[in-house]
Amino acid sequence: MDKSELQDKIGKRIIELRTQKGLSQSDLARACMKDRQSIEKIENGKVNPTAYTLYEIAQALSVNPSELLNI
């Protein structure tokens, strides 16, 4: 798996978890102190999020960070 494929899979996993929780991108962004565009870029696989950013997103989604990598 290459970098862009991994970014896409992580983004899709975040979308899946976010929608299961009934959150919009804006809701998630507010919960983890990011702007909506940052969340959009992560979900679309356009950026490579840091480990800490993934941790913050996991906290906002009330899941273990490993859930984001359960791809």
Q: Which two tokens stand for residue 38?
A: 């940052």
Q: Which two tokens stand for residue 9?
A: 């899979």
pLDDT score, position 63? 97
Report in angstroms the alpha-carbon separations of 10 from 2, 28, 46. 12, 15, 11
pLDDT score, position 71? 77
Give pLDDT tens digits for 5-61.
999 999 999 999 999 999 999 999 999 999 999 999 999 999 999 999 999 999 999
